[in-house]
Chains A and B, each alone.
Chain A
Amino acid sequence: MTEVIATNETILVVGGGISGMTAALEAAETGKQVVLVEKRPYVGGRVTQLYKYFPKLCFPTCGLEINQRRAKMNPNLNIISMAEVTDIKGEAGNYTATVKISPRYVNENCTACGDCAKAVEAEFDDEYNYGLGKRKGAYLPHRMAHPQRYVLDPAIIGTDDAQKAKDACKVNAIDLDMQEEVIEFKAGAVVWATGWKPYDANKIQPYGYDRIANVITSVEFERMADPNGPTGGKLTRPSDGKEVKSVAFIQCAGSRDKNHLLHCSRICCMASLKQATYPADEVAISIYYIDIRAIDRFEDFYQKVKAKENVKFIKSKVASIVENKENGNPTLHGVDTEGYNRYADEHDLVVLAVGMEPSVDKASFPVEITINEEGFIEPAPENGGVFAAGCSSDALDVNRAVQHATGAAMRAIQVVNRVAATEG
């Protein structure tokens, strides 16, 4: 049974991505008791799936390591992974949270040696790589996963593979009898940091993501560029594995669009500019855009990418993509705004800079909450002691999400301080 010691002075953080982790750590480091509930088997969220950050082109692993170390060192922070908040009752200063914990089938004995993964045969689509590669039925989600512990896919439970994994384990870490748990505990304030998900590119019908192999999303491209990713950092085409010689980026794929996401997702311009630096200089890059939104100090980065000889900017929202059946090249059709020229451009690979959809489900939200027309949580008195952090409040980049999460932690601390004052 998972033990959680919590009181009305405890802060519950829902979601352990960069925002949730930041809020949890900042609060815990002020001496507050914090329980962090994360759906995935590890913390760090989508930031762990990034190859590089913009604009410095440094590696997210660096900051992630610092945060994970802070988490390990802090006795005030209790991280519950593979868990979801199913209900919250009460009001600010007096909440009761219900949390469902899925079985990992691997206990604290795990040394992450990997023997179980070697023994298991079944393979599954690797969600960490957005389905671009395969992982075993017993797996470490990614190299830096925290907690550094293997996971057994529930699909292998009851099969020979599960027994093979158990037999291979020398430290007695595999517990096939682990069950789903539902626990309840108190909390004074809640930081809601469930983040975002890439907009479903299948919904953008004219771009043919569902039917053209060489049309991929920006998050998939990010995984492809990572040397630890499914292609070992090689930019190859999904259709034939051929090395990519020309790449097109389509901006606002799902953003700023009445038919899709109403809002500007803010990160996509900078993400594509960043991704334009990944391929070698011989690779021709075309960026199709409505307008480049590289705000304040990012302008320098935009100018730097603009100066690259292999990068071309076309002011136009692409109208449709048709596959050239002979060579698998996606052909982009549209009319540009600088001269109104009709084009039909062929590229080896097309990257859809998909928008940020908030991972906030209004229908199943456990407490009363104010959600705006874009689907993000609005700061409102009705929200009580529930404070949105990071991308559940707006489309934000990592830098701004971290700032926002720190602010949310501050709000939560104010609530539990009030509780402490009244309870003496």
Chain B
Amino acid sequence: MSDLNTAMIEKYRSSFLKEVEANVEEGEWVKMCMQCGVCSGSCPLGKHWEHPPQEIFMMIRAGKREDVLSSDSMWMCTSCYNCIARCPRGLPITHIMHGLAVYSKRLGLTPQKQPTAEFSQIFWDNLMKKGRVNELKLGLSMYFKDGFGQGIKNAMANQKLGQNMMKAKRMNAMEFFGGHSVKDLSGFQKIIKKAQEIEAGNIKEFK
């Protein structure tokens, strides 16, 4: 392609597509979608998506920035990889969905009370404390995320499961008090901090 052609393509490419290509994991694949719809049809949770993946890709190319980033849709992905396995163009759709979710979270555009987003935050906070996931506390945080009353109800409903897990030594009640951490917790936290710095440094400004 001639330089002039390339320049014209750049000129007409929507700025939101450029933003996605720059800031979303695997975002450079979005332009490869040929709108066949196999991903949407193959998704086991497909009917619960407000915008199926193929529509999300088209919305990105149409520059619908707010609609995409504040959408609930990419949070519906359960990483079953059916779409990746079947996509005729080989788009890493699962990864793009996760990338979009991460980016919307970074910009603070994620819908309030989105269950997957809430769980992800709880999981992250839990992991950051000790460098390990404290499963007891993770479970409890999930039970009590909608208030104390609901938390007790949830705990009672799953009482038997919890007891069985303790009997089978899959869960330890003592973990409630502190819980064990990785050997070098401060080293772990430094690694994460550094990674976050690098990540933030890679984000390009678009307005």
Return the CB mask of A317-333 against B: 1 if under 8 Å, else 0.
11110000000000001
**Interface residue from B36, B40, B85 paired with A340 (Cβ < 8 Å):** B40
Q: How far is the CA of A260 from the CA of B86 in the complex (A)?
A: 10
Interface string of A333-347 (1 = CB under 8 A from B): 111110010100000
Once the chains bind, are B41 and A290 in contact (CB under 8 Å)? Answer: no
Q: A252-B88, A259-B88, A317-B88 are in contact. Are A337 and B36 (CB under 8 A)?
A: yes
The residue that A320 contacts in the complex, of B42, B54, B90, with Cβ under 8 A, is: B42
Answer whether residue B129 sits at the interface, using C-beta atoms and an 8 A cutoff: no
Judge whether A281 is part of the interface by a CB distance below 8 angstroms: no
State which residues 242-265 of A face B: CB under 8 Å: 252, 256-260
Evaluate contact between A258 and B87: CB separation under 8 angstroms: yes
Task: Identify B35's interface contact among A206, A258, A290, CB under 8 A.
Answer: A290
- CB-nearest residue of chain A to B34: A290
Q: Would you call B162 an interface residue if the criterion is a C-beta within 8 Å of the partner chain's C-beta atoms?
A: no
The smallest beta-carbon distance between A201 and chain B, in angstroms, is 16
Question: Residue A316 at the B interface, CB < 8 A?
Answer: yes
**Docked-complex contact A319 and B54, CB < 8 angstroms:** no
In A283-301, which residues have CB < 8 Å from any B CB? 290
Docked pose: A66 CA to B160 CA in angstroms: 83
Does B38 lie within 8 Å of A319, measured CB to CB?
A: yes
Chain A residues near B52 (CB, 8 Å)?
A: 335, 340
**B87, A334: Cβ atoms under 8 Å?**
no
Q: How far is the CB of B83 from chain A (nearest CB, A)?
A: 9
Given known pairs A206-B86, A257-B88, A259-B86, the reply for A334 and B41 (CB within 8 Å) is yes
Q: Which residues of A contact B54 (CB under 8 A)?
A: 335, 337, 340
Asked if B90 and A316 sit within 8 Å, CB to CB, the answer is: no
Chain A, interface residues (CB within 8 Å), range: 20 to 34
CB-based contact B35/A335 at 8 Å? no
Contact A319 B37 (CB under 8 A): yes
Tell me, in angstroms, the Cα distance from A336 to B38 when the chains sit together: 9
Q: How far is the CB of B71 from chain A (nearest CB, A)?
A: 13
Q: Is residue B67 contacting chain A, with contact meaning CB distance below 8 A?
A: no
Chain A binding surface, main DSSP class:
loop
Inter-chain CA distance A340–B88, complex, in Å, is 18
In the assembly, what is the distance between CA of A274 and CA of B34, in Å?
25
Do A319 and B55 touch (CB < 8 A)? no
Of the candidates B34, B47, B86, B89, the one having the most CB atoms from chain A within 10 angstroms of its own CB is B86
CB pair B36–A290 under 8 Å, yes or no, is: yes
If A206-B86, A258-B87, A259-B86 touch, does A333 touch B36 (CB 8 Å cutoff)?
Answer: no
Chain A minimum-CB-distance residue to B42: A319
- Residue B179 CB within 8 A of the other chain: no
Q: Are A317 and B36 in contact (CB under 8 A)?
A: yes
Docked-complex contact B89 and A318, CB < 8 angstroms: no
B31 contacts the other chain (Cβ, under 8 Å)? no
CA distance A290 to B37 in the complex (A): 9
B88 touching A319, Cβ below 8 Å: no
Q: Which residues of B contact A334 (CB under 8 A)?
A: 37-38, 40-41
User: With contacts A252-B88, A258-B88, A319-B86 known, is A206 near B42, CB below 8 A?
Assistant: yes
B-chain residues with CB within 8 Å of residue A340 when the two chains form the complex: 40, 51-52, 54-55
B46 within 8 A of A: yes
Residue pair B86, A342 in contact (C-beta under 8 Å): no
Inter-chain contact A342/B87, CB cutoff 8 Å: no
Instruction: Verify A335–B88 contact, CB threshold 8 A.
Output: no
Q: Looking at the complex, which one of B34, B41, B47, B90 makes contact with A319 (CB distance below 8 Å)?
A: B41
Question: Residue A316 contacts which of B36, B47, B88 (CB distance < 8 angstroms)?
Answer: B36
B63 to nearest A CB, angstroms?
Answer: 18
Complexed CA–CA distance, A317 and B54 (Å): 12
- Decide: A316 near B42, CB < 8 A? Known: A258-B88, A340-B55, A342-B47: no
Determine the residue in chain B with the shortest Cβ distance to A340. Answer: B55
5 residue pairs of the A-B complex, CB under 8 angstroms, read A206-B86, A258-B90, A320-B42, A334-B40, A335-B46
| Ranked 5 nearest A-B pairs via Cβ | A319-B41, A317-B36, A334-B41, A335-B40, A257-B88
